[in-house]
Amino acid sequence: MSNNDFIEFFDGGLAPTLDSLGGKGASLVTMTAAGMPVPPGFVVNTAAFRAFMGAGLDQAINEHLAQLDPEDIQAVDQASAAIRELITSRPVPAELSEVTRQAYADLQSRFESEAPLAVRSSATAEDLPDASFAGQQDTYLWLNGYPAVAEHIRACWASLYTSRAIIYRIKNNIPDEGLCMAVVVQKMVNARVAGVAMTLDPTNGDRSKITVDASWGVGEMVVSGTVTPDNIQLDKVTLAVITEHIGDKHAELIPDPATNCLVEREVEPQRRNVLCLTSSELEAVAQMAKRAEKHYKSPQDIEWALDADLPDGQNLLLLQSRPETVHSSTTAAPKLGAGGYASSLGYGSVSSITASLTKITG
């Protein structure tokens, strides 16, 4: 299970760089090196993207994007469709295909049986404190077999040129020239409960708080706003619960053994309106968020899951950690509160944490 010019395993031992691994990939490698419980995987790096794009494809893409008006939705949609067709119809170079297939086999060799994987985009312009780029590319869940993984790696590359991503970059003056895409390939978590956490209060940026959203099943339901999750706020120092709102968790996304795919299932009444985290699980999530914040030395926005296939006490996994990009970049540092933390996002039917995270599709 070794690294090469195009592949870097999370635990491969190389120092992560944003230019090579993108924001998500670099974060996962960093968190793995820090001893955080990250599901294993590898990154198809930006050198692979450049090798795939090859001579001439960049120029063709730039021609489609030249002088594009972000307000002309029809023109943006046409350019997006043409670019994505160029990418998805292009054969993968033999060398790149070979090392990716070998990386897939090496990752699967860690498990007793072939495991479903998630394929997630990792753009070099995302996950930055001054560029809230979440939601601009796609993630694909519960993929079985190498052909599906290979297909969706290319789909991630193409998702760099969706209409919404093109418009976002134009409006935020992010140049397309030299833009690269890395892709994360990671063991899928069979989540019993999943959610997000932020190491501040998302209504006002108060850094003495931790805010947790949680719901049953795979976290897409929380991230997409399909369900109203449980929302709990804790004191960052004592981890005492300050506020607790039980969400109407009417549905969950779970694997179907018959089809080996994720399916949406109605949550039975006895679980729908009760907290989905025990007090010890909630405390563990909060501690994980604090640990990520301490490592990065800035407020963090994390995704987490409790794996149904792992024993209690070993089943809390970190799926992503990135800088909080709202209050951290727009608000001056307020006074320190009594607990030593700066007292500096909000919740309606869908929380601000949820709205800020990447929408998972596929």
Claim to verify: residue 195 and residue 180 sit in the same structural domain: no
Helix residue ranges per DSSP H, 177-226? 220-223
Claim to verify: residue 111 and residue 48 sit in the same structural domain: yes
CATH code assigned at 242: 3.30.470.20
Claim to verify: residue 29 and residue 136 sit in the same structural domain: yes
195 membership: H or E segment, kind and range: strand 191-198
- Burial (CB < 10 A; 0-12, 13-18, 19+), residue 171, is exposed
Claim to verify: residue 201 and residue 85 sit in the same structural domain: no
Q: Among residues 160, 187, 214, which one ends one of the domains?
A: 187
Give ∠ CA 94-96-99 in degrees, rounded to 5. Answer: 105
Q: Is residue 17 part of a domain?
A: yes
Give me the long-range contacts of 29-38 (CB less than 8 A, separation at least 24). Answer: 30/295, 31/292, 31/295, 31/318, 31/321, 34/295, 36/288, 36/291, 36/292, 36/295, 36/318, 36/321, 37/288, 37/314, 37/316, 37/317, 37/318, 38/10, 38/317, 38/318, 38/319
Q: Among residues 128, 156, 187, which one ends one of the domains?
A: 187
Q: Is residue 261 part of a domain?
A: yes
Closest CA to 121 of 325, 320, 355, 354: 320
Claim to verify: residue 163 and residue 272 sit in the same structural domain: no
* Helix (H), strand (E) counts: the chain: 11, 13
- What is the structure's pLDDT at 360? 34
Q: How many domains does the chain fold into?
A: 2
- What is the structure's pLDDT at 329? 53
Claim to verify: residue 60 and residue 85 sit in the same structural domain: yes
Claim to verify: residue 196 and residue 183 sit in the same structural domain: no
Amino acid identity, residue 246?
I
| Three state DSSP letters for 96-139 | HHHHHHHHHHHHHCCCCCCCCEEEEEEECCCCECCECCCCCCCE
Q: Is residue 131 part of a domain?
A: yes
Q: Is residue 299 part of a domain?
A: yes
Claim to verify: residue 167 and residue 283 sit in the same structural domain: no
Claim to verify: residue 34 and residue 179 sit in the same structural domain: yes
Distance (Å, rounded) from C-alpha 236 to C-alpha 362? Answer: 35
Q: Is residue 289 part of a domain?
A: yes
Q: Contact at 8 Å (CB) between 309 and 113? A: no
Helix residue ranges per DSSP H, 160-278? 163-171, 220-223, 269-272
CATH code assigned at 157: 3.30.1490.20
Q: Is residue 307 part of a domain?
A: yes
Q: Is residue 221 part of a domain?
A: yes
Residue 302 forms beta bridges with which residues?
Answer: 197, 321
244 membership: H or E segment, kind and range: strand 241-245
- Give the structural domain span for 39: 7-187
Distance (Å, rounded) from C-alpha 157 to C-alpha 121? Answer: 7
Q: Contact at 8 Å (CB) between 204 and 344? A: yes
Q: Is residue 362 part of a domain?
A: no
Mean pLDDT per block of 10 residues along the chain (362 residues) reads 87 93 94 97 96 84 92 97 93 94 98 96 66 59 96 92 89 82 96 98 95 96 91 98 97 92 95 97 98 96 96 96 73 32 26 33 34
Q: Phi first, then psi: what are they for 141, rounded to 5°?
A: -110, 155
Claim to verify: residue 170 and residue 312 sit in the same structural domain: no
- Burial (CB < 10 A; 0-12, 13-18, 19+), residue 311, is exposed
Residue 230, classed as helix, strand or coil, is: strand
Per the structure block, which two tokens stand in for 50? 């450049």
- What is the structure's pLDDT at 232? 99
Q: Among residues 165, 187, 209, which one ends one of the domains?
A: 187
Claim to verify: residue 211 and residue 325 sit in the same structural domain: yes
C-alpha dist (Å) from residue 335 to 24, 341, 345: 31, 8, 18
Claim to verify: residue 73 and residue 107 sit in the same structural domain: yes
The residues, any chain, with a CB within 8 Å of residue 193's CB and separated by 6 or more, are 214, 215, 216, 217, 276, 277, 281, 305, 306
